[in-house]
Each structure stands twice: as structure tokens, then as C-alpha cells.
Structure 1
Amino acid sequence: MRESIEGPFADWRLLGLGFWQAWQIVTMCTNTVAPTEGLLFSEGNALLVLLVLMTVAYGAVVVMSRWFAPFVSRGAFYVAAAALMAAGTVAMPLVGLFCEGALGWGLFIAAAGAAALGNALLLIMWGELWSALATGRVGRHLYASYTFAFVLFFVTYAVPEPAAVGLTAAFPVASAAVLYACRREPRREPSVVPLDVRTIPVARLLVCLFVISVIWGLTQGMVVTFAEGDPLVVPKALLLAGGGIGAITLSMMVTSSPSEALTLYRPVIPAVLAGIVLLLLKPDVYPFLGTGLIIMGIYCLDMLMMLVSTDVAFRGRIPVALSFGLAVLATRAGTLAGSVGADWLIFSPWWSAQLRTDVCLIAILLLAVIGMLFFTVADVQKLYVTPRMQRADESLEQKCAAVAAMCHLTNRESEVIVLLARGRTVPYISDELSIAQGTAKHHVSNIYRKVGVFDRQGLLDAIEQGGVGRSALAADRPDRPARA
């Protein structure tokens, strides 16, 4: 009975990232937290200031990881992240609306800096959690969290502005509290054969993330020129993006994919490309369609980046804050560069509709080249799928039996792993072994945890090469008891 109760609660706890993402959407897509008008910002851009400070904050957290990572192991960081974000969220609109001059700028930078540092710290802590989970459903949880974030955004958007500020300030507190409650989620064991991170083209991938983010910043900065006279273009675009991500979430819940990373990757380049093309073809008719597709593609990229960079860090035995932090830093720096570039172009004397078209065409060309040559499905597979060591002399059952023995799987788990290796689904396993689906899911999660893998594709790779969890080490040391 305990297993059937814990499973659903665990699933709901893993949606806590949605509170963080809701804060991000409200803050960066509306003027609720970073006001665009008032005594302080009559001639300035609060969002650009916040973007600068966020980029600096992620760099600071990466540096801090050298001494304090993993952050999730220290209770003080939960409190610090929530308090900094909440305090900064409340202070930013107050300072922006009622203060001016050097004092106002100093107070706003202090408030925005606090919110940015808390934002970076909380996201990195969520990444540290995702990296070690053994649920086999991490990608689906990420999509569900982002879908939940859109729901929270529209709730916030519908209430009066003072209440919206209060709700937005409560989001990081809720996210940190949920994250703290996830400390006892099932964790996978470290792989006996760690990933060789030297085989990963880190620099090339970071450059790709940076360029895509520059394009994101440019297009979002120029949206106002496509949507002049439509004050609701951003909410409508977010509704479209949220609906698209919700549809993908539902699809992932209904069907099982061997590699969730590839499922996350597939919409990225096509959605952003299609969005820019729609903006060019119908610039004055339905600009929210193109903007919504671009937002959906970029958010899919964010989830892919979180899933893969944290998994690479776990398998490569490097700090998650370093791997994930550098990836986020590249995207934030790119977004900042694109946003600054868009502002510079729009207010330059040579700005015109033709120049806007030329910029969009260059962006389309860059995205096409990146998608075909530099950030492809094969590149994602290299990051996520462990290279196999072929053992053709052994049958599938023998390979599964070897993994089961090394990882001390139970008799029932040994039966389940063979069915998983044959590509069978949980409902099939449930019928084949005459057990409840909840019990079958519990066995699958235990197998992932003991073998030290992320999902079914990782399990198949482990079966092929024998790169299994820490239990295998214990199997070679009969004088030491194996971990349960």
C-alpha cells in the first residue's frame, strides 16, 4: 500500500520546477516585476538590466560550485534562493515606480541582483536533483512542469497587479519548498564506467546554444515592430506556446519513448524556424503565431539543455553546477546579446522593414546550418547515449542476467529487465507477469536506480556494455555488503 501512495505524490513533487519557470515567464514577458515605465525607467529598459544581472549571476554560481556544490546538500541554500528571489521580486517594481536618480538605480540593481542570484541558484539546485533521479520519466516531468508554469502564468496575469506581484514573489518560495521535499526521491547509482567527457564537443555545443539564444533575443526584441497596435500579442503567443508544450506533454504521457532527450530535441529547430518564417510571411496579421512557435522551440531547448547537461554531469562525475551552469550561462549571454542587438537596431537611423526582413533571413539561414551540421540528432545521441561495447557472443538473456547479478536485482526485477530489453511496455510487462501496473512501474524504477541509468535507452546501453551502477562494485567485493 505504501508504494501506491508514494508514487503519485512523488510525481506531483517533481512539478515544483514549474513555480520557478512561472516566475521566469511573468518576470521576463510582462512588466509586472520589471516595470517599463515610472520615475526610474522613463528612458531605460528594466528587462535588459535584469538580463545583464542574470548572466552575471549564473557565472557567479558556476564559480561558487567549486566550493559549495552540490548546493542541494546544504539547507541554507534553499532558504537563500527563496529569500533572494522573493525579496527582489517585491522590491523591483516598488523601486522602479517610486524611486529615481542614482539612489533609485542603486536600489533597483541591488533588488534585481538579489532576484537574479536567487534565480540562478534555485535553477542549478533543480538541475542537481534532476541529474540523479531514477524515475525514467524525467523528460515528461520537465514538460509537465513547464505546462504547469503556463497555467500559473495565466492565473497571475488575470489578477490585479499588486496581487500579481505577491503571487510572483511566492513562486520561488513554493519552488524551493517543493525542491526540499524532493530530497528523498529515488536516486540512481553512479555508473561503474563513467562517461568520457573529453569525447563531447563542449565548445561547439555551447556556441550553438549561444547562437540560437542570440536569435531568440533578436526576434523577441523585434516582436514589437511586428505587432504594433496589438497589446495582447505576448499573452496570445504564450497561450499558443503553452498549448503546444501541453500537447507534447500529453503525447509523452500516452506513448513511451526510448530516449526522452531526442523527444525534447526534435521540436527545437523546426519550431523556431517555422516561427520566424510565419513572422515574415504574415508580419501584420497574426504575429502571435510566429512568436508562440519561437517561444515553444526555445523552451524545448531549455528542457533539453537541463535534461542532457545534468545527465552528462552525473555520468561524467563532474559537478552538475559546472555542466548545467555553463550551458545556462551560454543561453543567457546569447539572449542578452540578441536583446541588446534588437534594441540597437530598432532605434538606429537605418532601421526599416527591409532591414528587419534581412535579419530574420540571416537567422533562418543560421538555424538551418546549425540544425543540419552542428547540433543534430547524432550530436544529441553522442551526449546522451553511452557508447556501446558489442558482445555478440552472448544472448540478450545472458547479458541481462549478468547485469542483474552485478546489480543484485531481485528475481522479479531480473524478469522485468529482460522484458524491458526486448522493448516491452509497462502494460505489457504487467500482463505478462500478472502484476499490477503500479507494481511493474515500481520494479522499473528500482532497476533504473540500481543500474544507475536515466531511462530505457541508458538501460539498453548498460546491458550491452556492462557499465552498471555502484552495486557492481560491491559484487566484486564479497567482504562488503551490497547497497539496497
Structure 2
Amino acid sequence: MSLSVAASALAGVSFAWCLASYADLLSIEWRRDVGARYGFAMAAAAVVAFVLAHVSLPIQPSAVAALPLLAYAVLIYLKHHVFDQTPSPSEREGERIEFFRITGLTVVAYGALFGMVVGFITAQPASDAFLTLTTVAVAVGALAQNVLSRALKRYLPFGWVEKAMLVLLVVGFLAVLFAPPAFHVGICLVLVALLVCFDLADLSALTALASTDRARSVRYLARGRLSIPLGLAAGIALEAAVRAVDPGPAGTFPTALASAALGLLLVLALVAVFVPVKDNTVAEVVTHHRSADSLFELRCAEVSDRFKLSARESQVLVYLARGRNAEYIGNRLCISTYTAKAHIYHIYRKMGVNAQAELMDIVEQCEVPLV
């Protein structure tokens, strides 16, 4: 018991440490990759949780304590070695961010719908087979988010996710209402996968919002992440109340609960009809193509391709071509000045120049096809 308490305390401190550092870890390219990365992380977490559920003392509490520490180490490594650390979207030339806050009440409503399902799932008899199926459902939902993000190669606007989820939930609860009782658990496991996908989309949207104002990023994330848990709590409480009044056959989703869910979905459908989709979208990029900036970027891209610069060197080239020094470049790309100087040296060597003025001349004189 003392070992478990100590492990839980250490895990809590470690997770707090991760949260406190989260603002500095939001330098990822959120528009394209954040949903995919969150999806993969959730799928991996489901597998790890499944494994930990099947190990005994003292391995289990030690692993629980080690996980957040390892998570922090991985995040730090990814920040410095893997993530494409471009400036935040609001700092990019030629782009303007328009924000539409997540409609908190609609997210709470979705959370309540999923809470009914979660309450039903947790009330089922525990077994190794059922735990395995639940883990698979979570992993499938997470990987679905990963696949969607990678397939579209961009940030998924949360308003569109809400509307797609509306249709899927209507189908799911109608299936629960009319399908034989033997299929209820399976249908609810599919809805659990949808919950994971929806939750990751919500987290990705909040990351998009927080990444544009890193000074208040933790506040945005903490406040935004309250909506779904509040809804889940309400849905779980409603499921427990309905089951207390009318227990019904074991493994059967209550008809009254499915009817209530469909009624709530009807309300959400009316909201979706009368509220423009962008009102439920966290962030969309509106690009204003200014001829000078667009031509400059095309020239930099052409030079990068011509001299076979790496992705990071291409980013450094843009700043060099604007006359920036190593210290400035290091600050903007969240790397050390020494690393920036190393990139500059490699760029000079590949381009065969000895001074920044020569590099700027090459970019300025580069001819690109204008379409």
C-alpha cells in the first residue's frame, strides 16, 4: 500500500510537471500533425494501460510512477529533435488567424451523450475479454484520428468534427434502440471509439488555440478540457439513475436512455442547422497572398530545392535571406544560437557562398515560374 501511495504521489507531481511545461511544448506544427500525434499517443496509452492492468506489485506502481516521467522526457526529445518548430501561425508572413471559440454547451452535450455509453460500459461485468475489447475500441478511435489527420494533412476544424459526430451518434443510438440486446455492448464499444476520436479532436482544437497565445496556453487548455468531463459526469449520473429505476436485463442498454439521447441529438441537430459551422470552429487560417511575400517564399523554396537543403536548413534560409542573424534565428526556431550557426555553416557550404550578402543575392536573383 505504501509503495502504491508513493507511486501515485510521484505520478501526480510528474503530470503536474508536464502540464507546467506544456506551454513551451506547443511549438509543433498543429495545423497538419497535431491530431495524428495525439491519436498515436492515445493508442499507445491504451496498450500500455492494458499491459499495466495485467501486472502485479511492485511492477505496477513503479510503472505508473515512471510513465509521466518518461512522457516528459519524450516530449522534450520530440521538441528538440523531431517536431517541425516553425513560428506559431500568428507569426507567419501572409497569414491571419480568425478564432471562433468552441461552443462550450454543445461540447458538454456531446460529453453527456458519451457519458451514457461510458456508464453502461463500466456497469458490465469485468473480464479479461471485455477489457481487451474496450482497449481495442479506445485504440481504434485513436488511430482513426491519426489516419484522418494524416490523410487530410491538415488540422481538422472542430465544427466539422461536431457535425460528423452528430450523424454517427444518431446512427449509433438508433441501432441501440432497435437492435437485439445481444448487440448492445458491441454498439456501445463502437461509440466508445467515437468518444476517443471526438475527445482527441477537441484536444487538437484547443492546442490550435493555445499555440497562438502561449502565454495563456495552459489556461486555454485547462478551461477547454473541462467541457467533456462535465458532460461525461452528467451522462454517467443519468445512466446510473435510469438503471436504478429500471434495471432491465443484464447487458441491455436502457430504452429510456436511448430515447433521451436521441432527443438531445435532435436539439444538437437544430443548433447545427441554425448556427453556421464556423461558429463551432476553433481556428481556421485565412491566407492573404501578398505578392511580394509570396514571391519571396517561392524564391526561397526554389533555392532550397536547387541546393538540396534539409527541412530545417530551408527554415533557416528564409531568415538568412531576410538579413537575420544566428541569435535571432535561434530564438524564432527555439534552438540554441550554436545550433543556428551550425545550420548557417551547412547552408553556406551547400550554396558555395562565404557571406550572407551573397546568399541574399542568390535568393533575390532566383527566377521562379509565376502561375
Identity fraction in percent = 13
Match of 1:176 in 2: 72
1:149 aligns with 2:45: yes
Match of 1:292 among 180, 189, 206: 189
- Mapping of residues 28-427 of structure 1, within 5 Å: 90-91=4-5, 119=15, 122=18, 125-126=21-22, 128=23, 131-134=26-29, 136-160=32-56, 163-184=59-80, 185-190=83-88, 191-192=90-91, 195=97, 197=99, 200-202=100-102, 205-223=103-121, 227=124, 232-246=129-143, 249-250=146-147, 252-253=149-150, 255-261=151-157, 265=161, 268-282=165-179, 284-315=181-212, 319-347=216-244, 349=245, 352=248, 356-370=254-268, 373-374=271-272, 378-379=277-278, 382-387=281-286, 399=291, 401-403=292-294, 405=296, 411-413=299-301
C-alpha separation in 1, matches of 2:97 and 2:73: 32
Contact 1:150 1:242 in 2 (8 A): yes
Range 138-147 or range 235-244, more displaced: 235-244
- Root-mean-square deviation over aligned CA pairs: 4.6
How many angstroms apart in 1 are the aligned matches of 2:253 and 2:144? 35
Could you say which structure has the larger radius of gyration?
2
CA distance in structure 2 between the aligned counterparts of 1:378 and 1:435, rounded to whole angstroms: 44
CA distance in 2, matches of 1:189, 1:91: 42
Gap change, CA 1:404 and 1:307, over 3 Å in 2: farther
Q: Deviation string for 1:322-355 (max 9, x for gaps)?
A: 11111111222222232233333333x4555799
Task: Pick closer, same or farther for the CA change 1:276–1:133 going to 2, 3 Å.
Answer: same
Distance 1:480 1:241 in 2: 45
Cα distance, 1:91 vs. partner? 1.9
What CA deviation, in whole Å up to 9, does each residue of 1:416-470 have, x standing for no partner?
8xxxxxxxxxxxxxxxx6898xx676578x39x97xxxxxxxxxxxxxxxxxxxx
In structure 2, what residue type is equivalent to 1:367? L
**Change over 3 Å in CA distance of 1:335–1:148 after alignment to 2:** same
In structure 2, relative to structure 1, the CA distance for the partners of 1:188 and 1:377 (3 Å cut) is farther
Letter of the structure 1 residue corresponding to residue 329 of structure 2: R
CA contact (8 A) 1:305 1:324 kept: no
The number of residues matched between the two structures is 319
Structure 2: state its 5+ residue gaps: 331-371
Residue 258 of structure 2 aligns with an amino acid whose one-letter code is C
Which structure has more RCO (C-alpha within 8 Å, separation ≥ 6)?
2
Q: 1:230 to 1:172 in 2, by over 3 A?
A: closer
Distance 1:123 1:434 in 2: 42
What per-residue deviation string (whole Å, max 9, x for no partner) do you get for residues 111-157 of structure 1?
Answer: 68x8667656635744x356321374222212221222222233324
The SS at the match of 2:182 is coil
CA contact (8 A) 1:271 1:293 kept: no
In 2: Cα distance, 1:208 partner to 1:328 partner: 13
Q: 1:164 to 1:273 in 2, by over 3 A?
A: farther
Q: Is the 8 A contact 2:112 2:234 kept in 1?
A: yes
The residue type equivalent to 1:134 in the other structure is: E
Contact 1:233/1:288, CA 8 A, preserved across alignment: no
How far residue 414 of structure 1 moved from its aligned partner, in angstroms, is 5.2
Unaligned runs of 5+ residues in structure 1 are 1-32, 34-86, 94-110, 392-397, 417-432, 451-470
2:338 matched residue in structure 1: none
Counterparts of 1:355 and 1:158 in 2: how far apart (Å)? 28
Q: TM-score, normalised by structure 2?
A: 0.66
Aligned partners of 1:212 and 1:334 also within 8 Å: yes
Q: Is the 8 A contact 1:261 1:380 kept in 2?
A: no
The answer to whether the 8 Å contact 2:206/2:224 transfers is: yes
Partner Cα separation in structure 2 for residue 363 and residue 441 of structure 1: 48
SS in 2 for 1:319: helix
Residue 220 of structure 1 aligns with an amino acid whose one-letter code is V
CA distance in 1, matches of 2:180, 2:17: 38
CA distance in 2, matches of 1:325, 1:242: 24
Structure 1 position 268, deviation (Å): 3.6
- Asked if 1 retains the 8 angstrom alpha-carbon contact of 2:11 and 2:67, the reply is no
The question of whether the paired residues in 2 share the 8 Å contact of 1:211 and 1:334 is answered with: yes
CA-to-partner distance for each residue in 1:53-84, whole Å, 9 max, x for gaps?
A: xxxxxxxxxxxxxxxxxxxxxxxxxxxxxxxx
Q: Matched residue of 2:87: which SS?
A: coil
